[in-house]
Amino acid sequence: MLIEADGGSRGNPGPAGYGAVVKDAATGEVLAERKAFIGIATNNVAEYGGLIAGLTAAAELGASTVDVRMDSKLVVEQMSGRWKVKHPSMQPLNAEAKELAARFSRVRYEWIPRAENSHADGLANEAMDAGATKKPEPAKKIVKQDRVSPVGWTGATGTPTKLLLVRHGQTAMSVDKRYSGRGDVPLTEHGKQQAAAAAKRLGAMEGLVVDGEVAPIIASPLIRTQQTAQAIADALGGRVETHPGLIETDFGDWEGLTFKEAMDRDPDFQTNWLSDTSIAAPGGESFDGVHRRVRKARDELIAQYGGRTLVLVSHVTPIKALLRMGLDAGPSLLFRLHLDLASLSIVEFYPDGNASVRLVNDISHLS
């Protein structure tokens, strides 16, 4: 992936902000944008803030190698190890950036002219514009808050967006253990019973109906998730919305096949697919692609409903992707985490970038 990052200060030191954009290195597609106002700071502090935000976003997206492009000669040279970090305010930021960079198998830094860094520069200026009316705070304090602020056990600050993640109930495809991605199959009678049990569980939970307002219930557009979501909406007195980003992986030519049938058909390809999340099923979608799609959906939902509790009814891979984001884990989690039909998991995402996984694969309501 490609990271473009920048930061600026109107006064140096003065009101400061940063911006970062993560792109697909091959296509130039924008995968993530980050920006923040950080109070009174120098240009260099803001530039490091942009780098840290970009590295964090790339790690969350599952990048293994990254090219960083910045118009800050100082940051590029210090991160490349050619210049010493002498200023006390730079040392902790440099150390934090290096700790993040160590998560990747390779990070390459490149200085570019400011004119070629207009996207990140624009984000930094948007952040400074948005923060112009805010009361300035010490730079060191604000930069730390963007990563982790020492409040409570987790260090998370602000009101989290709580996601109650419900997997759909049983279908005929799940009974036969067949690849079931975009195929639009309904719930079985047992699946409807599972959906009703999950609905009863959520109906008894606190915080889903506040002052008569029901928490948003958002489902994948496929019928099996909409049926499960509707049972929950009926129990709570709400309504179902859909979001295309919550749809299951597109398994392409393997749709409807059992694992053995797919292995018999494409033995070498299936083996490679199971060991590399960047490989897509024939005619389908890679797990890396799913992760990017679900991250975008999560960001859109938080932008719309930030600080609230949401019920998301989805499928195995999207739910695993959201839990992976909450755990800040690598792609191997996809193959090591089991999620039952009609199970409930809970993850919270905080506005300061922290997250907390509260529950995974609870099926107590099905017993």
Cβ(240)–Cβ(202) below 8 Å: no
Would you give the DSSP letter of residue 364? G
For residue 239, say whether it is annotated as part of any ligand binding site. no
Catalytic residue among 60, 248, 255, 285: 248
Q: Residue 163's closest CA among 361, 352, 366, 344?
A: 344
Q: How far is CA 155 from CA 100, 146, 191, 202, 236, in A?
A: 18, 11, 40, 28, 33
Pairing of strands 217-219, 240-242: parallel
What lies within 8 Å, CB to CB, of 271 at 6+ separation is none
Q: Where are the alpha helices (DSSP H) in the chain?
A: 43-60, 73-79, 91-101, 118-130, 139-147, 172-175, 189-203, 223-236, 259-265, 267-275, 287-305, 316-327, 333-336
In angstroms, the CA 107 to CA 115 distance is 23
Sheet holding 106-111, edge to edge: 30-41, 14-23, 2-9, 65-70, 106-111
Catalytic residue among 96, 168, 285, 315: 168
Q: Is 87 a catalytic residue?
A: no
Enumerate the β-bridge partners of residue 314. Answer: 167
Judging by beta carbons within 10 Å of its beta carbon (0-12, 13-18, 19+), is residue 141 exposed, middle or buried?
Answer: exposed
| 252 within 8 A of 341, measured Cβ to Cβ | no
Q: Is 338 a catalytic residue?
A: no
The annotated binding site is made up of 224
The annotated binding site for substrate is made up of 224
Q: Which residues are catalytic?
A: 168, 248
